[in-house]
A and B are shown apart, each in its own frame.
Chain A
Amino acid sequence: MSEALIPAGAVVLPATAGRQKLYRRVLKNPMAVGSLGVLALVILSAVFAGLITGWDPNRAELSDALAAPFGEHLLGADASGRDIFARLIFGARVSLVGALIALATALAIGIPTGLIAGYFQGWFDSLSSWFASLLMAMPGLIVVLALISVIGPGIVGVMVTFGALLSPGVFRLTRSGVVSVRRELYIDAAKVSGLSNYRIISRHVLGVIRAPLVIQASMIAGIAIVLQAGLEFLGVGDSSTASWGQMLSEAFSNIYVAPTMILWPGLIIGITVGSLAIFGAALRDTVQGAEPVRRPRRRKPTSEESASMRRLDLSTAATAAVVSPRDGGHEDLEPSDALLVVRDLQVGYPQPDGSTTIVVDGVSLHVDRGEVLGLVGESGSGKSQTAFSILGLLPDTGAVLGGSISFAGRTIASADGATHGAAALRGRQFGYIPQEPMSNLDPSFTLGFQLVEPMRHILGLSRPAAKTRALELLDRVGIADPRRTFDAYPHEVSGGMAQRVLIAGAVACDPELLIADEPTTALDVTVQAEVLDLLRGLQRERSMGMIMVTHNFGVVADICDRVAVMQAGRLVEQAEALELFDDPHNPYTRMLLSSTLEDTEPRAARGTHAASSRGTAR
């Protein structure tokens, strides 16, 4: 075992980052703490309402009717002379208890049914999902009103009903959480370890859906408070105790006499429900911020070293060591008529804390007409970032920070100017072939439309002319039934077919430079061979320049004329393909080449089957 290649302390993430429990991270979010504080204040003042104010919320002093605020009554008195502040904090009890009942009901119904439906699926899932959509189609307020006529205006019955009507939200959230967790491989691993369903749900499933449920719960509590106030406002609630909705209703009847009276109950509802909403949003941000989704696609390599993106200051980046032409970035052999020239390219992502993450650093390369350049490296080497810089398609958060890119003698990107130049070339002079065929086709449009649209835009072809050309192209890239494929949607074709369509799209407007980003990585090996044949054929017959981004040395050997090897954002070696394979100079290149398994000796067979086990099926 050779572990020497992993540098000491390869794990660059701080060891403490993940270990903090969620609640502790939430307590560091000022929005969450603030909203929780406000909620606590509302709850405490409701609980200790009797201690806070000396006024009885129901005592009517007609002499005080409509008294102004900040006198004897803190917020004034209503039309019957009742203290508004006292009614406000006593009224909070009704709202909070009501919200609690609705919330408890929604959770008590939604969580268990969601867990069962999501985990075991089958008939219970179909039935409960149908029932959930049924409840969701019911207009809540009307149903509650209808029920009040049956069960009376008691707060418990009303809020239980409303909780039941809100339970489909909880059910759906729980169910979809369970369904997505259920597909995770660690659930399979737990099953293989013999864990019972109960242990799997409590250990693996509940932990994942906890945070989304808390967010949903804060929303439900808010909705319940508003709805209850609405019912009280309509006058169908329990009128014997003070409540916010009732206060609004009274304020409404005095709206011409004392318009400010609508302010207080509205404000307290707004503050309470707003705190719930802000808490939910803050919690969501904390959860999403804490777990960056870093899930690579199938077969896309991941780096052993977490230091895939080196964080360095611009000042240190500038001191990059200059190496000899063969081993490094600078090119002396650059011909004057090169199609594409990249000089000292530096690409970085500015971070919120002011630093910059450099992902491509001092890369120089060129591509001639009719030449295939291989851009090789492991994940995080910056090979794709280099390709996207050329296309002018870096994500919004990234930018070319240094060096320049020119195409056919015209500068299309440099550190001072933006990358506008590339936009005019895309589709015309630049063709791009992506890695994952399926995710690179718009699912809502037919394949034909996606081929025709750029041709009409760029070549100015009429619709029939573009269609004819598209059918010819589909035929050229080896699709057996071009007409059928033309009318098909992306989800109706196989991955290999989709990749051929993408290749057809890339060459549709006769580009001079083709940039292929791992075009065969997602394909089966027999399809890969066919696609490589196709690419080679197209490249030769149109004598296009081509950049082949790949991690596979077999692909490089198959199609590339020249190779540039990248490691951690820098170019470590550039050479003619044959030269590089025969005599790699750079130690990193040598290590990569020695890691390929094609030439290793197979292990000797063991056991009795050795001689007789050979067999084929026909």
Chain B
Amino acid sequence: MTDNANVAEAPLLTISGLEVEFPVKGWRRPPFKALKGVSLDILPGETMGLVGESGSGKTTIGRAVLGLAPITAGSITFDGRDTTRLSRTERRALSSDIQVVFQDPYTSLNPAMTIGDILAEPLLTSGIARVAARDRIRELLDQVNLPADAVDRLPREFSGGQRQRVAIARALALRPRLIVCDEPVSALDLSTQARVLDLFIDIQEHTGVAYLFVSHDLSVVRHISHRVAVMYRGEIVETGDAAAVTGAPEHPYTQRLLMAAPVPHPRRQAVRRSERHALLASQRAADAARETVR
């Protein structure tokens, strides 16, 4: 445990009872409930990993925090301020505190803008002078290990991993306190993925930024997170320290998720596989028993 374990630290972000509904096309169809009352908090400088499968609602939480999803109930509080519903102007003020890195490095950068313009956009929008912005951009490129001459180039001249570095630099531009990372490494190759994750950790250690880190990959979440929340069908089924949740999960779904991820070693994977079959059998038996009790 860390030294300040007993010091009461106020959470940076608090989500409570959050519900999000998307309208469904068609006459009188009920809306799709993507989040069914989700509560979560993130401390300053902490990484909260959010893991789940497609359709679990993990991405929607991130988008709700960013003001990009229709919230129907619940609240989001950032640094003591209610940010559940904000106007575009209020959102602009918040943009220096909350930023984002998306999954797809190919569509998250405007193909027609140079890297310099992409990085300047948040700076200029927040009213920073052009000269100061130029210095800051150079600093940012250095921070994400990109060459300074990247400024004049277009996104398509860069590989996936390098584009993701640009996206990270854009997120860092205004020195935010929280970055929502939506599957930021799942489109990258294995070796690239490891390096970009290390960059995330490195930046966190230097700047003290907090991450809400969304991923479908338990091993990625385990690598970068302090704490982990597991999502299943619009709900959080389990939260806790990364080691505990990803090592000895308590909820049946998390157990299934962990057992389903193959281990990169044939012998250990054979063991994991039989463990998984045993787990599925016992869960099925337990379900059947519960049915008969009823």
Contacts and interface: CB of A to CB of B under 8 A. Distances in A.
A43 interface: no
A608 B107 contact: no
Interface stretch (A180-188, A343-351, A510-518): A180-188
B238 A615 contact: yes
Interface string B111-128: 110100000011001100
Given A11-B162, A189-B170, A606 B2 contact: yes
Nearest to B202: A1
B43 A17 contact: no
A186 B145 CA distance: 22
A606 B66 contact: no
Interface string A168-202: 00000000000000001110111111111101000
Interface in A562-618: 577-578, 581, 591-593, 595-600, 602-611, 613-618
Nearest to A588: B191
Contact of B122 (A3, A193, A305): A193
A525 interface: yes
A617 B261 CA distance: 22
A302 B159 contact: yes
Contacts of A618: 251
A303 B238 contact: no
Interface string A201-214: 00110011000000
A251 B85 CA distance: 71
Interface in B181-233: 186-195, 197-199, 201-202, 216-220, 222-227
B154 interface: yes
A194 B88 contact: yes
A336 to B, nearest CB: 27
A532 B263 CA distance: 13
A604 B2 contact: yes
Contacts of A154: none
Contacts of B237: 616-617
Given A195-B121, A617-B235, A184 B187 contact: no
Nearest to B144: A1
A189 B164 CA distance: 13
B53 A524 contact: yes
Interface stretch (A112-120, A274-282, A292-300, A384-392): A292-300
A121 to B, nearest CB: 11
Consensus secondary structure, chain A interface: loop
A608 B8 contact: yes
Interface residues of B, number: 115
A526 interface: yes
A557 B239 contact: no
Contacts of A596: 190, 219, 264
A2 B191 CA distance: 11
A138 interface: no
A533 B6 CA distance: 47
B92 A525 contact: no
Interface in B86-139: 88-89, 91-95, 98-100, 102-112, 114, 121-122, 125-126
B145 A305 contact: no
A45 interface: no
B30 interface: no
A254 interface: no
Nearest to A183: B107
A10 interface: yes
Contacts of B9: 607-608
Interface in A253-306: 291-292, 294-296, 298-306
B54 interface: yes
Contacts of A613: 227, 239-241
Given A188-B100, A296-B106, A602-B223, 18 more contacts: A15-B152, A191-B67, A193-B122, A298-B187, A299-B186, A299-B187, A301-B187, A304-B189, A305-B159, A525-B260, A529-B259, A551-B189, A554-B269, A595-B194, A597-B194, A605-B1, A606-B43, A606-B46
5 contacts: A13-B156, A196-B88, A295-B107, A616-B237, A617-B251
Interface of B: 1-2, 4-9, 41, 43, 45-47, 53-54, 63, 66-68, 88-89, 91-95, 98-100, 102-112, 114, 121-122, 125-126, 145, 149, 152-154, 156-162, 167, 170, 186-195, 197-199, 201-202, 216-220, 222-227, 235-244, 246-247, 250-251, 254, 256-257, 259-269, 273, 276
